[in-house]
Structure 1
Amino acid sequence: MKGFVLSFRSEFYKSRKTMGFWGAILLPLLISLLAFAIFFTKSEKFTAMQPMGLWVQFSMIGLGMMGTLLLPMYTIFIAYSVNNVEHKADTWKTIFSLPISRWSVYGAKFVYAVFLVFLCLALFALFTIGFGNLLSTLKPELKFNEYHMEVQLMQIYFKLFLSSLGILSIQFLLSLLWADFLKPMGLGFVATIVGVTAASKNWEYSYLFPYAHPMVAITTMIKQGDKARGPVRELQIDMFTKDVYVSLAIAVVVFIAGYFIVRKKSVK
């Protein structure tokens, strides 16, 4: 356990100045600021909306972006960046020669990548809630304060987090096997396009394809309403759906397989 903690702390110090780390903070901040600016400058367009629809419309700016391309691509980038530190500096041999088990090194790297994805999505939820409440103060005509959506937003983003773990595990393993940028990132990008296409076309087996899981999670939670009642009528949050179970299963299987690959990895 001590070796795991030391390795995890080392990952933080190595990545704290990288785009992977700061992306987890800046990505939700910038997109939430964009949503805030749209509602602040165009508030007259939203004054007639009911409080729940207002919250959903506001949160969908971030959710729509994350559920389509941004979350899969950010997850792919995180998986690559965590291992690229060692590839770039050619320090795998040094790490594996330390008196720390390979399990601790491998586990700490994977958990740190999971932590960065979790941090990014948690900040999305917090910034959405914070900026929504700020809008209710600055623009009282917007009725954000008449409906509370904190719990639902936390659930939605947590489900997105669970749906990303399958992608993360696969890309983490690919970035261990290949030191170059193009192979893991290229395969991940192509797979993401295929997954988004499959989910957007409502392919019945899209839940089996991990790169489709974020978009499947969004489309199954956000129910469209009739235009008379606003663009979105209701949220139906079922946390553990088929796609989430598949994502978790893939994450566990690939994580274990990755460890056996690392255990036999040559460092000569």
Structure 2
Amino acid sequence: MKGFILSLKSEFYKTRKTLAFWSAILFPLVLCCLISFGFYYNSAKIIPFPAETQWFRFVGAFLGVMGSLLIPMLVIFQTFSINNIEHRSEMWKSLFSLPISKWSIYSAKYFYALFLNALCISLFASFIFASGYIMNFFVPEFKFNQYDISGLLFKMHLKLFLASTGILSIQFLFSLLWADFLKPMGIGFLFTVFGIITANLGWKYAYTIPFAHPMLALQNIMGQIMGREDKQRVFDLMDKEIYISLGVAVITFVIGYFVINKRNIK
């Protein structure tokens, strides 16, 4: 456990000044500023709607971008960047020569990637919630302060996080296998586009494709929320896409450990 904690701290210190770390903070902040400005500029079109509708229009503007493209691409970039530090500096031999088990080093890298993804998605939820109230302050005609969406909002983002764990594990494995930029990023991008297409077309086996899971999770959220006759804004956190995403994450995590454990570090 001590080796795991030391390795986890090491990952933070190695990445704290890199774009891999700051992208988890800056992307949510920049996107919130841009979309908030758009809503502020077009406030006259939004003000007539009730508070709940205003929130759903505001949140929907974020989720449409996040679920389809932004979360998968951020995960692909962050996982590549975490392992690229060792590839670029040829530090694998030095890293595994330390009196720390390969399991501790590998698992710390993986859980640090999970941490960056969780940080990014939780900041999205936090900035969205804060942005609504900030806009309400500058435009009192908005009704964001008349409806509490916090519980539903954070549950939505928790589901998106769970739906992205399969992608994260696959891309983490790719970044271990290949040191160059094009292979893991290129393959990840192609799979993401394929996943988006299959999800949007409603292919019945799209749930078997990890890269389609964020989009499918978003579709299920909106379908359950809007399709309820009792108008209660609730949805299922766990469904078959999430279970498959978590299953893929576990299996790929184990495969990645065997890959790194058998690797001959020259």
Instruction: Report the TM-score when normalising by structure 2.
Output: 0.96
Which residue identity lines up with residue 195 of structure 2 in the other structure?
G
Q: Which residue of 2 aligns with 1:220?
A: 220
- Given that 1:73 and 1:189 are in contact with CA atoms closer than 8 Å, whether structure 2 keeps it comes out as yes
Partner of 2:13: 13
Distance 1:197 1:130 in 2: 33
C-alpha contact (below 8 Å) 1:196/1:212 kept by paired residues: yes
1:51-80, Cα deviation, whole Å (9 max, x unpaired): 111101111121111101111111111110
CA distance in 2 between partners of 1:182 and 1:161 (Å): 25
- The alignment partner of 2:49 has SS state of coil
Distance 1:244 1:225, change over 3 A: closer
Paired AA for residue 240 in structure 1: M
Aligned to 2:115: 115
What residue number does 2:242 align with? 244
Unaligned residue ranges in structure 1 (runs of 5+)? 227-232
CA distance in 2, matches of 1:175, 1:33: 32
Q: Distance in 2 between matches of 1:193 and 1:51?
A: 35
Structure 1, residues 156-185: CA drift from partner, whole Å, max 9, x if none? 001000000000001100110110111111
CA distance in 1, matches of 2:50, 2:148: 12
Residues 1:61 and 2:61 aligned together: yes
- Cα distance change of structure 1 residues 162 and 225 upon mapping to structure 2, 3 Å threshold: closer
Contact 1:221 1:235 in 2 (8 A): no
One-letter code of the match for 2:36?
F
Give the TM-score taking structure 1 as reference length: 0.95
* 1:20-31 paired onto structure 2 within 5 Å: 20-31=20-31
Query: What is the CA-CA distance between 1:261 and the residue it aligns to?
Result: 1.2
Instruction: List per-residue Cα deviations over 1:8-27 (Å, max 9, x = no partner).
Output: 00000111111111100000
Deviates more, 1:38-47 or 1:80-89: 38-47
Partner of 2:186: 186
Question: Following TM superposition, where does structure 1 have runs of at least 4 consecutive aligned residues deviating by more than 6 angstroms?
Answer: none
Q: Aligned partner of 1:160: which letter?
A: L
Asked whether the 8 Å contact 1:220–1:236 carries over to 2, the reply is: no
- Give the % identical residues: 48
Q: In the alignment, does 2:83 pair up with 1:97?
A: no
Q: CA deviation at 1:137?
A: 1.6
How do residues 20-99 of structure 1 correspond to structure 2 at under 5 angstroms? 20-99=20-99
1:237 shift after superposition = 2.1
Match for residue 264 of structure 2 among 257, 261, 266:
266
Q: Give, in whole Å, the separation in 2 of the partners of 1:160 and 1:206.
A: 16
SS at the partner of 2:70? helix
1:23-65: per-residue Cα shift (whole Å, max 9, x none)?
0000000111112111212111001111111101111121111
Provide the residue aligned with 1:145 in structure 2: 145
Aligned residues: 262
Partner SS, residue 222 of structure 1? helix
1:197-216 equivalence runs, <5 A: 197-216=197-216
CA RMSD of aligned residues (A): 1.4
Q: Distance in 2 between matches of 1:199 and 1:65?
A: 14
String of CA shifts for 1:74-97, please: whole Å, max 9, x gaps: 111111001000000000000000
